[in-house]
Amino acid sequence: MAASALDVPQATGSQGEFREKLVAEGLLLPSSVPGVTGQGPAFVALRHRLDRAIDRLLANEGAVAMEFPPIEPRHDMESVGYLTSFPQLAGSVFAFHGEEAEALQLGEKAHAHQDWSGHLQAAGLVMVPAACHPVYPALAHVGVPAGGVTVDTGPAWVFRHEPSDDPSRLVAFHMRELVRAGSPDTVGAWRDDWRDRALEFLQSLGLPAAFDEANDPFFGRSGKVLARSQRAQKLKFEILVPVGGDNPTAVASFNAHSDHFASVFSLGADVHTACLGFGIERCVLALLFTHGLSFDDWPADVRAALS
């Protein structure tokens, strides 16, 4: 069932004004569901420009390319504890398995916009909530080399059920993630190095970016304990940039997982993992908010960096 207006966080005045401008210029293409937003030609072109710039940033990284569909086996999400920590963000795939008579009933209900979900069954699949998630079972299949490995997921579609009128909070969006797997010291140094490199990269695009310690949106009362622990151990950092509102928005994040994913997927006794994720749409929105809605009017050095 779609979230009602009362369930959907409303954008602040400045966020709403920014979204209206983006829609008026054809950069964003709204739908009837908050957070499910299409992208016009100019927005898509900017997204591709940014992705090419990230390609150049990674040129000497030696990353292995892996790409995955936006769905994953339900078993994998269950195994990593996502449904315990973030049930509010998860999305599951359901499909029709009935006979012709039931199909006719489903069709009649759908035509009348009635609830037809009772005719569907779980398909054993869930929506990928972070581009790094399918990487860990893949590494279990191919193995982690002795010196470790860095994986580049490319600009992957991900899903998080947090509908909102805030233009930077989308239900489905592109995430470009790097995953590092290796020894604890190697992984820790890699994350700290990329925290600085990513910040410098975004600042080179003229964005007033800054990083800060952060925590994931863990669910419930026990989630508050996990959030405090995550901050205390400095396991998560974010790069923040203003995107239409009074408070800056996270456009990139860095997570240290210790041996969590390595243990779940048996990647090796001394293997830790960490990831860096760029929220591609958020980065584009930050650029539009900072430099204006027309790429041709942006500063020459920024346009050159995104050529």
What is the full DSSP assignment across 99-159? -HHHHHHHHHHHHTT---GGGEEEEEEEE-SSTTTTHHHHHHHH---TT-EEEEEEEEEEE
Pairwise CA distance, residues 39 & 190, whole Å: 34
**5-89+129-305: CATH superfamily:** Bira Bifunctional Protein; Domain 2 (3.30.930.10)
Q: Residue with structure tokens 């996270």?
A: 250
Write down the pLDDT at residue 4.
37
- Measure the CA–CA gap between 52 and 307, rounded to whole angstroms: 8
Q: What does the pLDDT profile of the chain (307 residues) look like in tens digits?
A: 333 333 555 556 688 899 999 999 999 999 999 999 999 999 999 999 999 999 999 999 999 999 999 999 999 999 999 999 999 999 999 999 999 999 999 999 999 999 999 999 999 999 999 999 999 999 999 999 999 999 999 999 999 999 998 999 999 999 999 999 999 999 999 999 999 999 999 999 999 999 887 776 766 777 776 667 667 666 688 999 999 877 899 999 999 999 999 999 999 999 999 999 999 999 999 999 999 999 999 999 999 999 9
**C-alpha closest to that of 284 among 240, 239, 243, 237:** 243
Predicted TM-score (pTM) above 0.85: yes
- Is the alpha carbon torsion for 260, 264, 270, 274 positive or negative? negative
Q: Residue 87 — φ and ψ, nearest 5°?
A: -60, -25
Cβ contacts of 117 within 8 Å, gap of 6 or more: 1, 94
Q: How many CA atoms does the CB half-sphere of 227 hold within 13 Å?
A: 13
From 229, 57, 267, select the one nearest 152 (Cα to Cα): 57
236: tokens are: 């998560």
Please compute, for residue 63, the number of CA atoms within 13 A of its CA located in the half-sphere on the CB side: 25
pLDDT at 183: 96
CATH 3.30.930.10 occupies which residues in the chain?
A: 5-89+129-305
Question: Rounded to an integer, what distance in angstroms lies between the CA atom of residue 179 and that of residue 257?
Answer: 11
Determine the Cα–Cα distance for residues 81 and 299; give it in Å rounded to an integer: 45
Structure tokens at 193: 């190095």
Phi then psi dihedrals of residue 148, to 5 deg: 85, 175
Return the pLDDT at 187: 95
Phi-psi region of 124 (alpha: psi -120 to 50; beta: other; left: phi over 0): left
**Can you say whether the dihedral through the CA atoms of 165, 167, 173, 175 is positive or negative?**
negative
Point out which residues pair with 287 in neighbouring strands: none
| First CA to last CA distance, the chain | 42
pLDDT of res. 220: 76
* pLDDT at residue 22, as a whole number: 96
